[in-house]
Amino acid sequence: MAMQGLQGRDPAPRASNGRGRRQRVLNFQPVPAKRLWMVYGLLAAGLAGLSLRLAWVQVIQGNELLERARSIQTQTVTPLGRRRTIVDRQGRLVALDEERFTLWAHPRYFAFPGDDIGQLRSPLDVARKLSTVLGKPMAELLKAMEGRKSGVKLVNDLDPETAQRVRELGISGIDLEAYPQRVYPQGGLFANVVGFLNLERVPQAGLEQSRDRDLRRHESERNLRRGADGTPLPDGLKAGVLYGDDLRLQLTLDARLQQVAQMALTNQVKQWKAKRGVALVMDVRNGELVALASTPTYDPNRFWTFKPGLFREWSVQDLYEPGSTFKPINLAIALQENAIDPSGKVNDSGQLTIGGWPIFNHDRKGNGVIDFPTVLQVSSNVGMVQAMRRVKPARFWHWLHTLGIDTTPDTDLPGAVAGQLKSLETFKTQPIEPATAAFGQGFNLTPLKLIQLHAMLANGGRLVSPHITRGLRSGDDLAPAPPASGIQLIKPEIAQTVLNWMETVVDQGSGKGVRIPGHRIGGKTGTAQKAENGVYVSGARITSFVAHLPINDPRFVVLVVVDEPQGGNAYGSTVAVPVAKQIIEALLVIEKIPPSRPVPATARS
């Protein structure tokens, strides 16, 4: 019975682990279909959401996220805007960009090398270290940083050597911002032609302004890709982006001769209490200006301390009546027109009347019957009128126009202007106009134009274009002088005849003060009344002197003009000639021009 009762039960399954203990076995029940559909629906919804999100990121936000990634991975280097160097004809520095730095402080990040992470140094600690390097009082630096957390400008215009010493301190929270600064090592020596940049680096005058495009260096914005650790990657750079040129603008001017001309001119202007002066030296073969000095001048490194009126070069932009220095040009015109004979003579009675207007010599004295070399030697106004009366007024005007009196010179000098010439009709109907033009009055031109015309005589009658640049050169390479050039306007033999006449002015006339033993020099002085707005200013005069050398093989023309010298003895021979002589003496040495004839023993001793 017991056995049967025991067998009639359904005992729970048991299992043994080999140690007599039993484990419970769970029976799996089938999952309801409804629950499976719910799970499936949740998974499908999640996948759909991920798909929509992926589509949103790739299609809608793709470009935005790409730009954000590139901004993180790419470093943009903006060029500093450096300018090319300017040098003189021998490679001496005239203008250059030097690197300067602005020192910024951010006190919230101050820390020294070796400090624990998170340690913050006080402005006092930083000021103590910086003061010795910067040479500034610690109290001044501390005051600048007092109560501020970031963006404190401590020093501006920091030189590269001092900036490097600041870097070596390794102070966190100290930044050096680099920028270029235009420097003019020659000071005011070339200011009249080179100009300057203002504090915003905008060109304001001279070549800096007229050649601005040529003086800007080839610099491009660089986008450099970096890896996750900041390592620069070679990809992503455009061709030529790393190219940096070393071109320099070379001038035709010579700093040595420029210095001599500047000093001689400044001393003479000061001695005669003159308003201003200018000295020009031109190579007659190619039109290169070897010197162009004017006074008063200014220092382009400190331009803000000078009057703006000094920023323009008046010898290129201001007009004046050349007076007697134009007489050799007129005699060349008369010879070219066959109106006078080289061996001919004129009667100088001291005065004459033209169209009801009296004309006098400067001393109101007559010189009798004289030849044309003597006309130049004594600077006879009456003799010039007598000579030029033989040229028809229309032809005379035609020549003045052909020579470019009333047109702007072809030059690279900034601001050059045209002269003023009366109309052809006025020349033909009013006899006084060609008469006054005969001795260099009644029309206006610039000193630049006058030296161009005299260079024409010295260049065998060929008119050259005056210029002060030889172009851009690479590295230390210097451009050679260009070959002889020019447009033939006057016959070579006529030009040489006039030069020979001008030599007598130096040997026997008003140009004696420029004589140098052994050297053949021609010249012509000028003392003209000064006109303003068509009216001559009482007592105001412009004195000048032009010289050609050497006469046997002309190479250079020197022109000196001094505006409004004071004193009763202020003439071209007393004011302008001494300046020209100092310039010529230096020119002979610099250009190694040998004597044209033996030097007398008395002169050598």
Architecture of the domain delimited by 255-302+311-469+490-604: 3-Layer(aba) Sandwich (3.40)
Rounded to 10 deg, the angle between the 393-402 and 327-336 helix axes is 120
Asked if omega into 296 is within 30° of 0 (cis), the reply is yes
- The pLDDT tens digits of the residues spanning 441-495 come to 999 999 999 999 999 999 999 999 999 999 998 878 888 888 888 899 999 999 9
Q: Which residue has the tokens 């100088």?
A: 348
- Helix, strand, coil distribution of the chain in percent, nearest 5: 40, 25, 40
3 state SS of 447:
helix
Q: How far apart are CA 444 and CA 419, in angstroms?
A: 5
- Nearest of 471, 480, 482 to residue 247 by alpha carbon: 471
Task: Provide the residue ranges of all domains of the chain, joining segments of one domain with +.
Answer: 68-92+186-251, 100-184, 255-302+311-469+490-604
Alpha helices in 318-365 (DSSP H): 327-336
Q: Are 123 and 110 in contact (CB under 8 A)?
A: yes
User: In the prediction, which pLDDT does 157 show?
Assistant: 84
Task: Please give the angle made by the CA atoms of 325, 330 and 335, to the nearest 5 degrees.
Answer: 135
Report the amino acid identity of residue 442.
G
Secondary structure of 24-56 in HEC code, one letter for each residue: CCCCCCCCCHHHHHHHHHHHHHHHHHHHHHHHH
Q: Are 504 and 377 in contact (CB under 8 A)?
A: yes
- The pLDDT tens digits of the residues spanning 385-407 come to 999 999 999 999 999 999 999 99
Q: Which residue has the tokens 């799996």?
A: 28
User: In the prediction, which pLDDT does 424 show?
Assistant: 95
Give bridge partners of residue 522 from the DSSP assignment: 548
- Nearest of 443, 372, 353 to residue 406 by alpha carbon: 443
- Cβ burial of 289 (10 Å; 0-12, 13-18, 19+) is buried
Architecture of the domain delimited by 100-184: 2-Layer Sandwich (3.30)
Give bridge partners of residue 556 from the DSSP assignment: 283, 549
User: In the prediction, which pLDDT does 441 show?
Assistant: 93
C-alpha 119 chain-centroid distance:
51
Buried b (16+ CB within 10 A) or exposed e, 484-501: eebeebbeeebbbbbbeb
Q: Are 542 and 531 in contact (CB under 8 A)?
A: no
Give the CA distances from residue 407 to residues 402, 420, 559, in Å, rounded to whole numbers and listed in that order.
9, 8, 21
Q: Are 458 and 553 in contact (CB under 8 A)?
A: no
Q: If phi over 0 gives left and psi between -120 and 50 gives alpha, with beta otherwise, what is residue 27?
A: beta
- Nearest of 466, 578, 572, 464 to residue 528 by alpha carbon: 572
Q: Which residue has the tokens 């045209």?
A: 418
Which token pair is 386? Answer: 């007598």
Question: Which residues of the chain are under the pLDDT cut of 50?
Answer: 1-11, 13, 15-16, 605
User: In the prediction, which pLDDT does 150 show?
Assistant: 86
Q: How far apart are CA 152 and CA 106, in angstroms?
A: 6
3 state SS of 375:
helix
Report the amino acid identity of residue 255.
A
Q: How far apart are CA 95 and CA 183, in angstroms?
A: 6
Q: Which residue has the tokens 């300018």?
A: 83
Q: Which residues are catalytic?
A: 324
**Tally of CB atoms within 10 A around 357:** 12
Positive or negative CA dihedral for 292, 296, 298, 303? negative
**Tally of CB atoms within 10 A around 200:** 6
CATH class (in words) of the domain with range 68-92+186-251: alpha beta
Q: Are 504 and 371 in contact (CB under 8 A)?
A: no
User: In the prediction, which pLDDT does 507 show?
Assistant: 95
pTM of the model: 0.81
